[in-house]
A and B are shown apart, each in its own frame.
Chain A
Amino acid sequence: MSQPRYQSHDAVKEPHAISLKVLRLSRPSLVTQFPLQQPLSSPSTIRPPPLPASLAYSPPAATNGDANGDDPNPDPFILSPIVNLPPSFGQAYVGETFSCTLCASHDAMTPAESAALGLLPGASRKSIRDVRIEAEMKTPGAESVVKLELSPPPANAGGEGKRGLDLRAGDTLQKIVNFDLKEEGNHVLAVTVSYYEATDVSGRTRTFRKLYQFICKASLIVRTKPGPLPAGRDGARRWVLEAQLENCGEDSMQLEKVVLELEQGLVYSDCNWEVAGGQKPMLHPGEAEQVCFVVEEVVDSREGEGVQEHEGRIVFGILGIGWRGEMGNRGFLSTGKLGTRHVKPRERKVTA
């Protein structure tokens, strides 16, 4: 995320008592480790315990005399079950949910600062009340901005009512926003913090706003191609719909499902990994997966034609693709309406 741009709503130039920090909450990641044998240990003992410093975390103290018996660390495997918070913003992709935590904190003064004001260390000369956070997202296409819902909702019991939360020095008000990324291009997350700053003699409401800009990229290129098939048993028209899904992002993804949502009067059968009993396909950056469906008209004897044609064009419906990224990060895309120009299948020339 690019450097925030400050936009002051205050006439006062005095620094704010509240700071705002954000962290994109992608999935936490499993920590890697390279277990090593103890140096200077006898070479031929069977499986000496690994050097504790080479493990991702210190093994729990042995219990019941069973040394590390219940430690789930799968050493010497490279992955360990302990997790790290996201180290960086990473890439934002269309189809994913953008999650971000917003933290408004009442910064305690450093000992030097409070000493200069003749206060006890950590004390503040101001009290901060009614801290509120609001967030909006500006998407590339939209004229207006979308107001984002913050979670967790204010808990009255915790003192955070409609007014906001009173923060003592060192306290933080933390909120989380979620936003489904649907467009490529520049997004701006705008966060507004307002609070009431009271000193012994006076008080005022202060507000500031920070903008966080990031670029959302496409993660998947979908190319589709319809083609006619010979009619089915009861004369129902049939088509094959092929699609090529190319991972154009920088991260690997595992395709979870590909589904068609068809217009009325059409059914389809899936010809992909699930019916073939295969593994879900893994797409590394730049790789493509070919998927295929057979779309068939429902011929109902009472109703006649099953599917509507508009100016010689048959609309099938939309294709939805769901995937999972590292540590299960979800993504879902759907195409626009797919269809085909109705070409009468050549008489029995094409064999299925």
Chain B
Amino acid sequence: MDPAKDAAPKGHTRTRSAVKATRPRASTKGPLDAVDVPLTSPLSAQPQQQQQALHHHHHPSPLPRSTTHSPAPPSHPRMIPAPLGPSRSPVPIFVPGPISPLPRSAPHSPAPPRRTLPARPKDFSYLLRPDVYHAVAADNVPAAFRVASAKQPAPDTPIAELLARGQFRAAAAAAAATLTTPGRIAPGDGEAIFGLLYTRLACLMLVDATAVAAQEVKALEDLNSVFYLDEVTGVHLVPWALRVLIVRLQAMGFGDPRRAVMGYYELAREARMRLAEAMASHDNSERELWKERLADLGVRVAGALVEMNDLTGAAQHLASLKEGRESGKLTMAKALLWLHLGDAEAARRVVKAGEMGEKAEKVVAALCDMADGEYGAALARWEELDEQSNDEMIGVNRAVCLLYVGKMQEGKTLLEGLVASSRASHTLLFNLTTMYELCTEKARDLKIKLSETVAAMDESPSGWEKSNADFKL
């Protein structure tokens, strides 16, 4: 690898070339960089390294900075984020603000860092900077939702209420506002910051602003760095759900979908470790939790492979997963993947071999008929299913089938009936507006009317506000 790295333990002969080498490394960091993190136990190595890191800030000369090339885990400056600017000087960003809780005097303390004291709070003030968060414009929201809607929430509505009302755009804005209001959140309050950040990112994804989320998530930099570990317990300070979410967003932000696969594997390694610990300590609930998370990651890897259009890879990966409590879901995932790939035969085989509920089996059978172009047979299956349950998916698929057999009018009525019963998934609206486009030259009027109907619906956690794209406006 890097020859400078080999030379590192020899001492202060490491000079400028070594310094230069650190920079590109920091700017292209990814899951693979993390290999040096878990190898050293955070309990033993970190305090020492922390001290080194702090020294760097006080001596920003090239020489001490080069100590980052010691075989020790990455040091503090790497974690101070300056992702938006081209220069990555660790110093200016670290200027302690008046609210920074980080004890500046720490490096001067002669006390050895192996302490029994509670961990010092970390400084997450870089996540409270307004420039991290972008405005989410409402210009892709149909007028029916913006104008004259009494449902648009007041600016001071609490986030929990916004979420319960399905006001995700407002919730995303409120989360960012809370984070960036000076004095509102303490820079050391990781729990609050990460909770808000999760809300922010999740809501952005729900309002079709995933690209914005993928940009904002860059502010977190490398989640695998020891900076994000609790100094005493070694536990990761970022909640699991946020870490899982960040994997995909960072991969998108860097335009490299393979990073997602690597990121999930990185998390899976930790999940395995925790699972082993839980088993060793006979902690049943912990064990179940980590088993669940591991299974979840397995399915997400398959999703990442689908996003990379590596469908055969995804199929092989799904086949390699262990059937857990929810083997029906796994079988369904496999069947859908084969269908997506075009192999209806394989989908049928998977269902035969796996364990699935009766309804799920019938759903796959109907989708297989559609894949074979047997829309009449598929329609009969959807009709049978539709009589047995009140399910949006079945209604929509039945209506789509109706269009393929030349009965679009019937399909349109069916979809309008679903809207009348307060269903409003993106898929339902997309299919209905497509039918509107087919049945008149004046589809725009019908689309606007539909958007008014949906805007008049009650707010719910399923989401209230829709975008222009949902109505093809």
Binding site for B on A (CB under 8 A): 19, 21, 23, 25, 27-32, 34, 36-41, 43-44, 46-47, 51-54, 56-58, 60-61, 63, 69-85, 87, 101, 103, 105, 107-108, 110, 151-152, 170-172, 174-176, 252-254, 279-280, 282, 284, 324-330
13 contacts between A and B (CB under 8 A): A19-B441, A36-B205, A47-B296, A54-B202, A72-B364, A80-B336, A85-B431, A85-B434, A101-B403, A105-B440, A152-B406, A252-B309, A328-B344
Enumerate chain A residues within 8 angstroms of B178, measured Cβ to Cβ. Answer: none
Determine if A107 and B440 form an interchain contact, defined as CB atoms under 8 angstroms apart. yes
Given A57-B427, A85-B400, is A69 in contact with B357 using a C-beta cutoff of 8 Å? yes
Determine if A84 and B357 form an interchain contact, defined as CB atoms under 8 angstroms apart. no
Does B359 make an interface contact (CB < 8 A)? yes
Determine if B357 and A282 form an interchain contact, defined as CB atoms under 8 angstroms apart. no
Determine if B425 and A58 form an interchain contact, defined as CB atoms under 8 angstroms apart. yes
Given A70-B359, A152-B406, A326-B340, is A43 in contact with B240 using a C-beta cutoff of 8 Å? yes
Enumerate chain A residues within 8 angstroms of B245, measured Cβ to Cβ. Answer: 36
Q: How far is the CA of A78 from the CA of B300 in the complex (A)?
A: 8
**Contacting chain A: which of B36-44, B107-115, B366-374?**
B366-374
Chain A residue at minimum C-beta to C-beta distance from B175: A39
Given A28-B400, A254-B343, is A81 in contact with B431 using a C-beta cutoff of 8 Å? no
Shortest distance from the beta carbon of B62 to any chain A beta carbon, whole Å? 42
Given A52-B461, A72-B360, A80-B336, is A174 in contact with B393 using a C-beta cutoff of 8 Å? no
Does B128 make an interface contact (CB < 8 A)? no
Shortest distance from the beta carbon of B31 to any chain A beta carbon, whole Å? 19
Determine if B392 and A58 form an interchain contact, defined as CB atoms under 8 angstroms apart. yes
Among A27, A39, A327, the one with the most B-chain Cβ atoms within 10 Å of its Cβ is A39
Q: How far is the CA of A39 from the CA of B197 in the complex (A)?
A: 9
Chain A residue at minimum C-beta to C-beta distance from B245: A36
Determine if B442 and A110 form an interchain contact, defined as CB atoms under 8 angstroms apart. yes
Q: How far is the CA of A350 from the CA of B224 in the complex (A)?
A: 59
Chain A residue at minimum C-beta to C-beta distance from B304: A78
Q: How far is the CA of A330 from the CA of B441 in the complex (A)?
A: 32
Given A23-B434, A152-B406, A254-B343, is A79 in contact with B396 using a C-beta cutoff of 8 Å? no
Does B166 make an interface contact (CB < 8 A)? yes
A-facing mask of B404-441, CB < 8 A → 1, else 0?
A: 11111100000000000001011110110011011111
Given A52-B461, A254-B343, is A31 in contact with B438 using a C-beta cutoff of 8 Å? no
Given A27-B370, A53-B168, is A105 in contact with B406 using a C-beta cutoff of 8 Å? no
Chain B residue at minimum C-beta to C-beta distance from A103: B438
Given A46-B289, A81-B336, A83-B400, is A57 in contact with B342 using a C-beta cutoff of 8 Å? no
Enumerate chain A residues within 8 angstroms of B342, measured Cβ to Cβ. Answer: 253-254, 324-329
Determine if B440 and A108 form an interchain contact, defined as CB atoms under 8 angstroms apart. yes
Given A327-B342, A327-B371, is A279 in contact with B312 using a C-beta cutoff of 8 Å? yes
Enumerate chain A residues within 8 angstroms of B439, measured Cβ to Cβ. Answer: 21, 103, 105, 170, 172
Q: How far is the CA of A87 from the CA of B469 in the complex (A)?
A: 11
Shortest distance from the beta carbon of B361 to any chain A beta carbon, whole Å? 9
Q: How far is the CA of A38 from the CA of B462 in the complex (A)?
A: 11
Determine if A172 and B397 form an interchain contact, defined as CB atoms under 8 angstroms apart. no
Among B166, B307, B438, the one with the most A-chain Cβ atoms within 10 Å of its Cβ is B438
Determine if A328 and B241 form an interchain contact, defined as CB atoms under 8 angstroms apart. no
Q: How far is the CA of A121 from the CA of B149 in the complex (A)?
A: 26
Determine if A254 and B405 form an interchain contact, defined as CB atoms under 8 angstroms apart. no
Chain B residue at minimum C-beta to C-beta distance from A327: B371
Shortest distance from the beta carbon of B199 to any chain A beta carbon, whole Å? 4
- Which secondary structure characterizes the binding site on chain A? loop
Shortest distance from the beta carbon of B349 to any chain A beta carbon, whole Å? 12
Chain B residue at minimum C-beta to C-beta distance from A25: B404
Determine if B343 and A82 form an interchain contact, defined as CB atoms under 8 angstroms apart. no
Determine if B205 and A72 form an interchain contact, defined as CB atoms under 8 angstroms apart. no
Among A38, A60, A174, the one with the most B-chain Cβ atoms within 10 Å of its Cβ is A174
Q: How far is the CA of A170 from the CA of B436 in the complex (A)?
A: 11
Enumerate chain B residues within 8 angstroms of A282, measured Cβ to Cβ. Answer: 311-312, 341
Q: In chain B, residues 130-148, which have Cβ atoms closer than 8 Å to a Cβ of chain A? A: none
Given A30-B339, A76-B300, A84-B430, is A174 in contact with B408 using a C-beta cutoff of 8 Å? yes
Determine if B292 and A47 form an interchain contact, defined as CB atoms under 8 angstroms apart. yes
Chain A residue at minimum C-beta to C-beta distance from B316: A279
A-facing mask of B169-206, CB < 8 A → 1, else 0?
A: 00100000000000000000000000100110011011
Determine if A172 and B409 form an interchain contact, defined as CB atoms under 8 angstroms apart. yes
**Contacting chain A: which of B76-84, B215-223, B327-335?**
B327-335
Determine if B373 and A330 form an interchain contact, defined as CB atoms under 8 angstroms apart. yes
Contact of A70 among B300, B330, B389, B441 (CB under 8 A): B389
Does B160 make an interface contact (CB < 8 A)? yes
Does B248 make an interface contact (CB < 8 A)? yes
Contact of B339 among A71, A77, A327 (CB under 8 A): A327
Enumerate chain A residues within 8 angstroms of B296, measured Cβ to Cβ. Answer: 47, 76
**Which 4 A-B pairs have CB atoms at the shortest separation, nearest pair first?**
A328-B371, A78-B303, A324-B342, A72-B360
Q: How far is the CA of A44 from the CA of B390 in the complex (A)?
A: 32
Determine if B440 and A327 form an interchain contact, defined as CB atoms under 8 angstroms apart. no
Determine if A152 and B405 form an interchain contact, defined as CB atoms under 8 angstroms apart. yes
Does B383 make an interface contact (CB < 8 A)? no
Given A28-B370, A51-B202, A328-B344, is A101 in contact with B408 using a C-beta cutoff of 8 Å? yes
Q: How far is the CA of A23 from the CA of B404 in the complex (A)?
A: 11
Determine if A53 and B438 form an interchain contact, defined as CB atoms under 8 angstroms apart. no
Enumerate chain B residues within 8 angstroms of A174, measured Cβ to Cβ. Answer: 403, 406-409, 438
Enumerate chain A residues within 8 angstroms of B396, measured Cβ to Cβ. Answer: 57, 82-83
Chain A residue at minimum C-beta to C-beta distance from B332: A74
Enumerate chain B residues within 8 angstroms of A79, measured Cβ to Cβ. Answer: 306, 333, 336-337, 340
Q: How far is the CA of A63 from the CA of B357 in the complex (A)?
A: 14
Enumerate chain A residues within 8 angstroms of B226, measured Cβ to Cβ. Answer: none
Determine if B329 and A77 form an interchain contact, defined as CB atoms under 8 angstroms apart. yes
Other 19 A-B pairs with CB < 8 A, given A36-B241, A78-B306:
A23-B437, A39-B159, A39-B203, A40-B163, A47-B296, A53-B168, A57-B392, A73-B393, A75-B329, A78-B307, A80-B336, A81-B364, A81-B393, A84-B427, A254-B343, A324-B342, A324-B344, A327-B342, A328-B373
Enumerate chain A residues within 8 angstroms of B431, measured Cβ to Cβ. Answer: 84-85
Given A107-B441, A254-B342, A328-B344, is A34 in contact with B336 using a C-beta cutoff of 8 Å? no
Enumerate chain A residues within 8 angstroms of B203, measured Cβ to Cβ. Answer: 39
